Amino acid sequence: MKLRYLLGLLVLFAVASLFIGVQNLSIMDLLHLSGEEERTLIFSRIPRLASILLAGMSLSICGLIMQQITRNRFVSPTTAGTMDWARLGVLISLLLFTSASPLMKMTIAFIFSLAGNFLFMKILSRIKFNDTIYIPLVGLMLGSIVSSIATFIAYKYDFIQSLSSWLQGDFSLVVKGRYELLYLSIPLLIIAYLFADKFTVAGMGESFSINLGLNYKRVVNIGLVIVSFITSVTILTVGMLPFLGLIIPNIVSMYKGDNLRSSLPHTAILGALFVLACDMLGRVIIFPYEISIGLMVGVIGSAIFLFMLVRRGRYA
């Protein structure tokens, strides 16, 4: 699939999304906006669109980086437990620093998710049975343990309701002033593109990378920092979007191959397009009510994940 077709489709969907919602707003109204319509567009629709695009691009590229450095197509922030560690970090920040700023909460979530990623990579280095399915199962089990700990703490301190509602992926609460942290992911996406060739080499294995003169551990650590930071920012801003970083890189690899530099633009645009399509679908299925993006991406993403598991022999 050509990049310009994906980009054209993304622009078409982006324009359409600005005019879908409870507040009646059409493209013809742009010529003579009332005060209420202008506020809806500036304070709600445009911030929502920007957060969708940034979250979709960022998490998709995170999945691509993790799959490259772990050499496993079924590893992502969801299946490696990164999101669960960030969720635990957010909970700890709520308990210990109740008046902390969003930046402070994001920093704590980043520390937890980075520690979780390092632990996951340490476990991988000790696993001798390097099966395609076995590795993400280890990550899922690790994530389940962390999630259980977070749930226990939340129950103990009566935080379970606020934690569940806050971290459930949802763009309906995104307004101007509540999503700007996502812009911090843009410099990291640029760094990911600059390190794309090094991530590709690192994906060939430690011994091969060292023989080519690559500082393997430093490149892997940079990748883990990028993934941890972007995951923390996204969870704190819009909540959890499961399986996004898993399915989009796999779809792109089917027609673009394993070169990360050439796959990055396709992964970013397709990720944003997928999240945007799920969000629009969630807004119209039970209109005027809305299905959360976390549920839409989770249901569709898990179905695609199961399909990939069944067909793993062809795409491994």
- pLDDT tens per residue across span 226-245: 999 998 898 888 888 888 88
What's the chain's length in residues? 316
Share of the chain above pLDDT 70, in %: 92
186-240: pLDDT as tens digits = 999 899 888 888 888 887 877 888 888 888 888 899 999 999 999 889 888 888 8
Task: Provide the token pair at 74.
Answer: 């079924």
pLDDT for position 29: 63
pLDDT for position 225: 93
pLDDT for position 240: 81
User: What is the residue whose two structure tokens read 């969000």?
Assistant: 279
Cβ atoms 136, 75 nearer than 8 A:
yes
Q: Indicate whether 271 pLDDT > 70.
A: yes
pLDDT for position 227: 92
- For residue 246, what pLDDT band results from cuts at 50, 70 and 90? confident
93-102: pLDDT as tens digits = 888 887 778 8
99-112: pLDDT as tens digits = 778 888 889 989 99
Q: Which residue has the higher pLDDT, 129 or 122?
A: 122
274-293: pLDDT as tens digits = 999 988 888 888 877 888 88
pLDDT for position 314: 55
- Pairwise CA distance, residues 51 & 185, whole Å: 11
Bin 26: left if φ > 0, else alpha if -120 < ψ < 50, else beta.
Answer: beta
pLDDT for position 226: 93
The SS3 of residue 100 is coil
pLDDT for position 274: 92
Count how many domains the chain has. 1
Task: Tell me which residue of 300, 254, 301, 249 sits closest to 68, measured CA to CA.
Answer: 249
Residue 265: cis peptide before it, omega within 30 degrees of 0: no
Residue 47: cis peptide before it, omega within 30 degrees of 0: no
Instruction: Give me the domain span that covers residue 49.
Output: 3-315
Cβ atoms 198, 223 nearer than 8 A:
no
* CATH number of the domain that residue 9 is part of: 1.10.3470.10
Q: Is 285 exposed, middle or buried (0-12, 13-18, 19+ CB in 10 A)?
A: exposed
- Pairwise CA distance, residues 68 & 256, whole Å: 14
Q: Indicate whether 312 pLDDT > 70.
A: no
- For residue 313, what pLDDT band results from cuts at 50, 70 and 90? low
Prediction pTM value: 0.86
Helix (H) / strand (E) element for 105: namely helix 102-126
First-to-last CA distance in the chain? Answer: 20
- Pairwise CA distance, residues 220 & 228, whole Å: 12
User: What is the residue whose two structure tokens read 């399986």?
Assistant: 243
292-302: pLDDT as tens digits = 888 888 888 88
> Chain-centre distance of CA 106, in angstroms?
15
Task: Provide the token pair at 213.
Answer: 């003169």
131-153: pLDDT as tens digits = 667 788 888 888 899 989 988 88
